[in-house]
């Protein structure tokens, strides 16, 4: 019998040192007061103003136009906002993708929350009920229709992601054709309307790899603001490993790996793992170290796309 995956995951984007302070959003006067003394991150619609030390914070006096969203306060009571405008406030080389930025836990909370909000606001300028213009409200937490007064709230798309193992504790990974060559990852997919997380796990693995899973365990979750997903992570045991095959559409290849073969393939260049920010990589790394033996850290080049 395969042991449960009862170990913690290191999920970088799930860390946040920021109190979102939702109770402060409804008072316009208080928001103005907070803005006047805030530290403000700039997001240009794709990248953050940052350097090798992390986010570069601006003061209100440096900013004009654009949209501003209240993100919360830190332990010292300092307020933080996101300023969203597509006008560069510094040279292009001073802007970096969230995936590239070197951020501490506080700044991760700012960037993940801020990017999610900014992309949602950009995609929802009109009311889905009447088609009229909507306007940001409650510090950016809501968009309100200027005609019918309907309030629209930020959308988060739930997606499951699952590390599948057989009775020998091998993992099964799949490859999408659009990924960089040799990149393999865990199976994942969006939760459909009216579907439970566990049912989505069973369905996605069956659709993509033609195997049936059981012993489904929740292992963690992480926001994935590219643009608006929440990854809910599970582990599961494969009932019928002999039936494993790619569906030929979303998944074009599959690969069984144990701890020795994953190291060998990384060294030979026949395997790329998901990037370190991802839930998939966190699950693979945790499984790799779970047998308690002294092992070298898994080393795989960055492979976005």
Looking at domain 156-289, which CATH architecture does it have?
A: Alpha-Beta Complex (3.90)
Q: pLDDT for 134-183, tens place per residue?
A: 999 999 999 999 999 999 999 999 999 999 999 999 999 999 999 999 99
- Given a cut of 70, is residue 48 above it in pLDDT? yes
- Given a cut of 70, is residue 247 above it in pLDDT? yes
User: What is the structure's pLDDT at 297?
Assistant: 87
- Which has more pLDDT, 10 or 51? 51
**Mean pLDDT within 243-259:** 97
Q: Give the model's confidence band at 66: pLDDT under 50 very low, under 70 low, under 90 confident, else very high.
A: very high
pTM over 0.75: yes
**Mean pLDDT within 13-26:** 92
Query: What residue spans define the domains of the chain?
Result: 1-123, 125-154, 156-289
- Given a cut of 60, is residue 121 above it in pLDDT? yes
Cβ–Cβ under 8 Å, residues 49 and 66 = no
- Given a cut of 80, is residue 71 above it in pLDDT? yes
Q: pLDDT for 53-64, tens place per residue?
A: 999 999 999 998
Q: From residue 2, how far is each of 90, 182, 215, 239, 250 by CA, in Å? A: 53, 28, 10, 12, 28
């Amino acid at each position: 019998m395969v042991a449960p995956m009862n170990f913690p995951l290191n999920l970088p984007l799930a860390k946040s040192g920021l109190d979102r302070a939702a109770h402060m959003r409804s008072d316009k006067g208080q928001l103005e007061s907070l803005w006047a003394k805030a530290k403000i991150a700039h997001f240009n619609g794709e990248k953050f103003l940052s350097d090798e030390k992390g986010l570069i914070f601006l003061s209100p006096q440096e900013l004009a136009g654009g949209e501003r969203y209240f993100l919360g306060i830190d332990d010292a009571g300092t307020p933080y906002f996101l300023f969203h405008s597509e006008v560069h406030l510094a040279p292009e080389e001073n802007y970096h993708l969230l995936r590239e930025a070197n951020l501490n836990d506080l700044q991760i909370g700012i960037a993940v929350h801020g990017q999610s909000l900014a992309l949602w606001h950009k995609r929802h300028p009109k009311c889905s009920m009447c088609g009229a213009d909507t306007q940001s409200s409650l510090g950016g937490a809501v968009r309100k229709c200027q005609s019918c007064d309907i309030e629209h709230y930020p959308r988060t798309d739930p997606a499951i992601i699952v590390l599948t193992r057989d009775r020998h504790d091998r993992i099964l990974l799949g490859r999408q054709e659009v990924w960089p060559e040799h990149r393999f990852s865990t199976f994942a997919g969006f939760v459909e309307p009216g579907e439970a997380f566990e049912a989505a796990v069973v369905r996605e693995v069956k659709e993509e790899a033609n195997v049936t899973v059981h012993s489904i365990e929740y292992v963690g979750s992480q926001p994935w603001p590219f643009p608006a997903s929440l990854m809910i992570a599970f582990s599961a045991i494969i009932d019928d490993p002999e039936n494993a095959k790619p569906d030929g559409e979303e998944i074009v290849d599959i690969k069984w790996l144990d701890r020795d073969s994953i190291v060998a393939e990384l060294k030979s260049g026949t395997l790329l793992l998901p990037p370190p920010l991802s839930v998939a990589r966190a699950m693979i790394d945790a499984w790799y170290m779970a047998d308690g033996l002294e092992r070298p850290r898994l080393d795989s080049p960055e492979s976005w796309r």
